[in-house]
């Protein structure tokens, strides 16, 4: 699968910083880690909850030490993206809220 390219003319300044950083730990990671698609809504059993928690933990472990995490999260909040950015699941209201709170705490 070929990664989807984002035209730089629509990229936020923060995304340009992220893309220019060769030290990002996400480079070369399986794209499935960044997917926020958890399937249809409705009641969730323990197995689904455990899978979601493992998925989020993997993304957070990759993103936490990243040198451009703040720029990544700033872009995600500004662009209203629906993937996992900076360790936050932007497809979920709780993830978007946590990202905004985290950004406020970084300044």
Q: Which H/E stretch holds residue 85?
A: strand 84-85
pTM across the whole model? 0.78
**Residues 57-82: pLDDT tens digits?**
888 899 999 999 999 999 999 988 88
- Exposure letters 22-45 (e unless 16+ CB within 10 A, then b): eebebeeeeeebbebeeeeeeeee
Q: Rounded distance, CA 76 to CA 70, Å?
A: 10
> Per-residue pLDDT averaged across 77-105, rounded?
90
Predicted pLDDT at 64: 93
């Amino acid at each position: 699968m070929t990664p989807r390219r984002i035209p730089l003319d629509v990229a936020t300044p923060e995304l340009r910083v992220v893309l220019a950083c060769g030290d990002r730990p996400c480079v070369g990671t399986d794209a499935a880690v960044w997917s926020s698609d958890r399937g249809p809504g409705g009641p969730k059993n323990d197995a689904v909850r455990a899978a979601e928690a493992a998925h989020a933990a993997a993304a957070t472990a990759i993103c936490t030490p990243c040198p451009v995490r703040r720029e990544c999260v700033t872009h995600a909040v500004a662009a209203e993206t629906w993937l996992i950015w900076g360790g936050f699941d932007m497809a979920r209201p709780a993830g978007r809220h946590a990202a905004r709170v985290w950004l406020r705490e970084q300044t």
